[in-house]
C-alpha cells in the first residue's frame, strides 16, 4: 500500500488531520489500534474553544454539533461559600461549545467511512520505519491477522501520549519538559439533568470539584482525588456526598443526582515534547503534549497543531513549498506553552494542595477572589478559556 500521509491514531488529531487533507485532495490512511466501538465510547474532553467549533463547521462536519452541542457564554467559579460568574462572551465576544469528544470522533469516523476512505481499526504491532529517509513506512498486523506495510511521504504521529511515534524519535534528539501533580480527577457520567446552565469550577476545603454536562439529560462531574486513589474506594454514595459538599457552596442549591453510567480516574500531568518533528514524522496532539484537564485545553490544543500541520502539508503538495513543514514546531510551540501555562495556573489555583498550609490556602482564595472580582483578572481567564487568537 502507498499513500501520501500515513496517520497513526484515530483520535481527534488523526481524524481532523485526515479530514483537512482530504478537503485539499491529499490522500491519507489512518491506522488505529483500538476498535471503532471503543474509540466512539471513550469519554474524554467536553469543551471546544470557539474556533474549534468553527473549524468543525468549515470542514463540513458541524451539523450535529450545532444541533446537539451546548453553546455557553459564561462559566462559574465557586469558592468560600459563594459563586461568581465569568462572562466569557461579554469579556471576549466569544462563547465555548460543550460537545463530547467522542461525539466529535463519531462524526469524523462516520464521514470518512461514508466517503469510502480507509481507517484500519484494531491494528496490532504498529511500528514506523525509515522516518529519516524519503519514504517512511508503517507496519502493522491488520484485524484479520494479515501483515501490512504502508509506504508514505509523511507520517502524522497522532497516537496520543502512550503511542509509538514519539518513542520512535532517537532519545538524544528528544527535548522533553514535564511536571506531575499530587492529585487526579475522578470523573463520573450521570444520567441526570445538569444542575446549572453553565460549568461550575469549585475550589473547596475538601478539594476541587467540577460540574459539567453533555446534554440536557447528562451531567459530567469531577472530583479531585489522590493520584494513587483506588476506584473501589469510591462507591456511588461517597461520590455523591463529596460532590454535594464541594459544589453546594451557596444556599439551597443542590446537585441533581441520578444513575452513574461510567466512572474513571485520570492522572494529571503537564508534558511537552518540543521535538515535534523528526525527519518525515510529525507529532500532533497528545503524542507531543499533555495538560492537566482543569483548563479544558487538551483537545483544543490537538486541533491547533493539526490546523498548522494540515496547512503546511497543503503548501508542500500544492506548491512544493516546505517552509511550513520546516517551521511546524516553531509555529506550534508558543501556543502550546501558553496552554500549558494556563492549565497549570488553573490547576494550582483551584486544587487543594496536600502539601499546602493555611497560608497557601488563603493566598489561593485571595487569587480566586481577585480573578473573579476584577475585570482585568476575569478577562485574562476568559480570553485563555475561549481560545487565544492565532498569530
H or E segment to which residue 216 belongs:
none
Give the strand order in the sheet containing 281-283: 119-120, 28-31, 5-8, 154-157, 281-283, 277-278
Residue 212 near which of ligand FAD, ligand DHB, none (CB within 5-8 Å, type-dependent): ligand DHB
Burial of 218 (0-12, 13-18, 19+ CB in 10 A): middle
Among 152, 293, 328, 335, binds ligand FAD (CB under 6 A): 293
- The verdict on 296 binding ligand FAD (CB under 6 A) reads yes
DSSP symbol at 389: P
H or E segment to which residue 357 belongs:
none
Give the strand order in the sheet containing 96-98: 47-48, 96-98, 70-72
Q: Which parts of this chain interact with ligand DHB (CB under 6 A)?
A: 45-47, 199, 210, 212, 220, 293-294, 296
- From residue 25 to residue 64, the character string flagging contacts with ligand FAD as x (rule: CB under 6 A) and all else as - is ------xxxx----x----xx-------------------
Query: Is 289 considered catalytic here?
Result: no
Closer CB to ligand DHB, 6 or 295, in the complex: 295
Closer CB to ligand DHB, 148 or 338, in the complex: 338
Which of 201, 222, 317, 328 is flagged as catalytic?
Answer: 201
> Which cell numbers hold the place of 112?
470518512
* C-alpha distances out from residue 153 to 1, 134, 227, 313, Å: 12, 7, 41, 10
Cβ neighbours of 191 (radius 10 Å): 12
Q: Which residue has the cell 485539499?
A: 24
Near ligand FAD in 125-184, by CB under 6 A: 126, 158-160, 163-164
- Cβ atoms 302, 13 nearer than 8 A: yes
Closer CB to ligand FAD, 117 or 365, in the complex: 117
Closer CB to ligand FAD, 86 or 302, in the complex: 302
Cα gap 55→34, rounded to integer Å: 26
- From residue 74 to residue 113, the character string flagging contacts with ligand FAD as x (rule: CB under 6 A) and all else as - is ---------------------------x------------
Task: Please state the φ and ψ torsions of residue 313, each to the nearest 5 degrees.
Answer: -65, -35
Among 98, 123, 225, 339, binds ligand FAD (CB under 6 A): 123
Which of 94, 297, 307, 351 is flagged as catalytic?
Answer: 297
Residue 9 near which of ligand DHB, ligand FAD, none (CB within 5-8 Å, type-dependent): ligand FAD
- Catalytic positions are 72, 201, 293, 297, 385
Name the residues that contact ligand FAD, by CB under 6 A.
Answer: 8-14, 31-34, 39, 44-45, 101, 123, 126, 158-160, 163-164, 266, 285-286, 293, 296-299, 302
Amino acid at each position: 500500500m502507498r499513500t501520501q500521509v500515513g496517520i497513526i491514531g484515530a483520535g481527534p488529531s488523526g481524524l481532523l488531520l485526515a479530514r483537512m487533507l482530504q478537503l485539499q485532495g491529499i490522500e491519507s490512511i489512518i491506522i488505529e489500534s483500538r476498535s471503532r466501538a471503543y474509540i466512539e465510547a471513550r469519554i474524554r474532553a467536553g469543551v471546544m474553544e470557539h474556533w474549534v467549533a468553527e473549524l468543525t463547521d468549515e470542514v463540513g462536519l458541524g451539523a450535529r454539533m450545532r444541533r446537539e452541542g451546548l453553546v455557553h457564554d459564561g462559566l462559574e467559579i465557586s469558592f468560600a461559600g459563594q459563586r461568581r460568574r465569568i462572562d466569557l462572551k461579554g469579556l471576549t465576544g466569544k462563547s465555548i461549545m460543550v460537545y463530547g469528544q467522542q461525539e466529535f470522533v463519531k462524526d469524523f469516523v462516520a464521514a470518512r467511512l461514508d466517503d469510502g476512505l480507509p481507517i484500519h481499526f484494531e491494528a496490532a504491532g504498529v511500528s514506523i520505519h525509515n522516518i529519516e529517509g524519503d519514504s517512511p513506512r508503517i507496519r502493522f498486523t491488520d484485524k484479520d491477522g494479515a501483515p501490512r506495510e504502508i509506504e508514505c511521504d509523511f507520517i502524522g504521529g497522532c497516537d496520543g501520549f502512550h503511542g509509538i511515534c514519539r518513542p520512535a524519535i532517537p532519545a538524544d534528539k528528544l527535548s522533553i519538559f514535564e511536571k506531575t501533580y499530587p492529585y487526579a480527577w475522578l470523573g463520573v457520567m450521570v444520567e441526570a439533568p445538569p444542575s446549572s446552565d453553565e460549568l461550575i469550577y469549585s475550589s473547596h476545603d475538601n478539594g476541587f470539584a467540577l460540574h459539567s454536562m453533555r446534554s440536557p439529560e447528562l451531567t459530567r462531574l469531577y472530583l479531585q482525588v489522590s493520584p494513587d486513589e483506588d476506584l473501589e474506594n469510591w462507591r456511588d454514595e461517597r461520590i455523591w456526598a463529596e460532590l454535594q459538599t464541594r459544589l453546594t457552596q451557596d444556599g439551597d442549591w443542590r446537585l441533581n443526582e441520578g444513575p452513574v453510567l461510567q466512572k474513571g480516574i485520570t492522572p494529571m500531568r503537564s508534558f511537552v515534547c518540543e521535538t515535534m518533528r523528526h525527519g518525515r514524522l510529525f507529532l500532533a496532539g497528545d503524542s507531543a503534549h499533555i495538560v492537566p484537564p482543569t483548563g479544558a485545553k487538551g483537545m483544543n490544543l490537538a486541533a491547533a497543531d493539526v490546523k498548522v500541520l494540515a496547512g503546511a502539508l497543503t503548501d508542500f503538495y500544492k506548491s512544493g513549498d516546505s517552509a511550513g513543514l520546516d517551521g511546524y514546531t516553531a509555529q506550534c510551540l508558543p501556543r502550546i506553552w501558553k496552554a500549558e501555562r494556563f492549565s497549570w495556573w488553573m490547576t494550582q489555583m483551584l486544587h487543594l494542595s496536600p502539601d499546602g498550609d493555611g497560608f497557601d490556602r488563603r493566598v489561593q482564595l485571595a487569587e480566586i477572589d481577585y480573578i473573579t472580582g476584577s475585570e482585568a483578572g476575569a478577562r485574562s481567564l476568559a480570553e485563555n478559556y475561549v481560545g487565544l487568537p492565532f498569530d
